[in-house]
Amino acid sequence: MVDSILPVVLDQAIVRKEGRQIVGPLNLTFGREGGCSILVGPNGAGKTTLLRLMHGLERASEGRVTWSARKDTVYARQSFVFQAPVVLRRSCLENIAYPLFVRGVQREKARAEAAKWIEDIGLAEVAHNDAHVLSGGEKQKLAMARALITKPDVLFLDEPTANLDGASTQEIERLIASAVQSGTRIVMATHDFGQARRLATDILFMYRGRIHEHAAADIFFGGPATDEAAKFMKGDLLI
């Protein structure tokens, strides 16, 4: 078994939709060094498309995305949490255990592991309730636990706290920080600069489908190198 599905390399990767180039060409590598890479940039810059491309939900129209493992391993060892939490028609506990079930882990063992996670996210009392009755913040915590239970090499997060209040955001950020500590590489999009400052090891500033700037978080927040990023940081409209 490989140690990690990383590095992943994007080589001249382009995504076109309806004849329009919406992302790329991108040349990028996410290595094994760990951490939390955060994508920032205006609406429509291509952040979601880039995350989906890496996760295999979009195909490169040109160029390549190359992982350091076979396809089946790559799919098994990465997860994605969307802005709107995805909840399966099952109990809360079974939602969290589900990725272990599909990987062939024995049911009791999977449930025992899920029970630790449900305790950790504060939903033990509703473990056997239908997950659809949870609040938005609770659903997102559930989605995070389900994404993390397999200890993925990489976790993609697309604005995971966009619709959440402060307390729920804090909980999700705790899970993200703890995943980074455990060695999961995070690649995440956010519009929340405070969150980017709290979590990022490096920042990728995206604009019009391209990465305009990629820098260590302290360097980026100390003063972006490009005019576009500086304007964006100031809150100026980028058109």
Ligand X SMILES: Nc1ncnc2c1ncn2[C@@H]1O[C@H](COP(=O)(O)OP(=O)(O)OP(=O)(O)O)[C@@H](O)[C@H]1O
The nearer residue to ligand X, 176 or 211, going by C-beta atoms, is 211
The pair of three-digit structure tokens given for residue 135, joined into one six-digit string: 């609040």
The nearer residue to ligand X, 23 or 145, going by C-beta atoms, is 23
Q: Amino acid identity, residue 23? A: V
Least separation in angstroms between residue 45's CB and ligand X is 4
**Within 10 Å of residue 3's Cβ, how many Cβ atoms?**
9
Least separation in angstroms between residue 19's CB and ligand X is 9
**Which residues, including other chains, have CB under 8 Å from residue 143's CB and lie 6 or more apart?**
81, 82, 85, 86, 87
Interactions with ligand X, residue window 6-25 (CB under 6 A) = 17-18, 22
Least separation in angstroms between residue 48's CB and ligand X is 3
Interactions with ligand X, residue window 21-60 (CB under 6 A) = 22, 41, 43-49
The nearer residue to ligand X, 37 or 49, going by C-beta atoms, is 49
The nearer residue to ligand X, 101 or 193, going by C-beta atoms, is 193
Number of residues counted as binding ligand X (CB under 6 A) = 11
Q: Classify residue 79 as exposed, middle or buried by CB count within 10 Å of its CB (0-12, 13-18, 19+).
A: buried
Least separation in angstroms between residue 111's CB and ligand X is 36
Interacting residues toward ligand X by CB under 6 A: 17-18, 22, 41, 43-49
